[in-house]
Amino acid sequence: MYVREIQLVQPHGPYRVIGFSIGGLIAYEVARQLLHKGEEVGYLALIDPSMPSVAAPTSDWAANRGRWAMDTVFKSGQPFRGLGVVLKHVYTSTTMRAKTNLEKMKVRLYTVFGMELPVELRRARSDKAIKMSVRGFEYQPIETSGSIYTVSRPEQGAETKEAFWAGVFLKGSRVHWVDSAKTHMEFMHDENIALVVRDIVQEIDAASTASTSN
């Protein structure tokens, strides 16, 4: 569907595709389908893209979150500051969950009364379908390069993450560790949005210059 809509506006590449969160996963899949059709993807950026494990929490996922909380409080050297970070994260997650549940209730009311759904509620209507799609999704190797923007570099596991994306983007991957974004939703802070946008613009300009010189 996305590919069809994109090609109604721009029938042929090169295309520049960028997405955040679940949009990052969608951006990857859009690029994969465009490449499969023989089109050129000139630039692809995934901003903290969704991974299947995010949509289907497991005991390992819960254990990792628990270790993150313990490490943040007791191994940071600043236990009170670390506790504040954990509590802020819990508050944000709880607030978002409550907001999502409220939106779902509104969707049901609109449906019962046969009213047209406002744009801002349409994602809530598709939330379950999106999560089910992500659970069965796998990133497959594709013949293009990609930039990945992700939360601050972990003490362990950075090399594993970089190796994973290197196996996905066969023409080169660039993992950008955004140190000012400690959690997924902190990418939405103005300063982090500005940083990522500035970097993406520079990469696109560099890619355009290289393409012109060739």
44-65 per-position pLDDT tens digit: 999 999 876 544 444 454 565 6
Res 203: pLDDT:
92
Give the domains, in start order, of the chain with CATH numbers: 2-54+138-213 (3.40.50.1820), 57-135 (no CATH)
Of 53-57, 86-90, 104-108, 126-130, the poorest mean pLDDT is in 53-57
Residue among 55, 2, 52 at smallest CA distance from 27:
2
DSSP 188: G
State the average pLDDT over residues 27-55: 87
Per-residue pLDDT band for 100 (boundaries 50, 70, 90) equals: confident
Residues in the chain: 214
Q: From the CA atom positions of the chain, what is the Rg in Å?
A: 19
Beta carbons of 73 and 79 less than 8 angstroms apart: yes
101 Cβ contact list (under 8 Å, min separation 6): none
> Does residue 98 carry a pLDDT above 80?
yes
Per-residue pLDDT band for 102 (boundaries 50, 70, 90) equals: confident
Res 52: pLDDT:
67
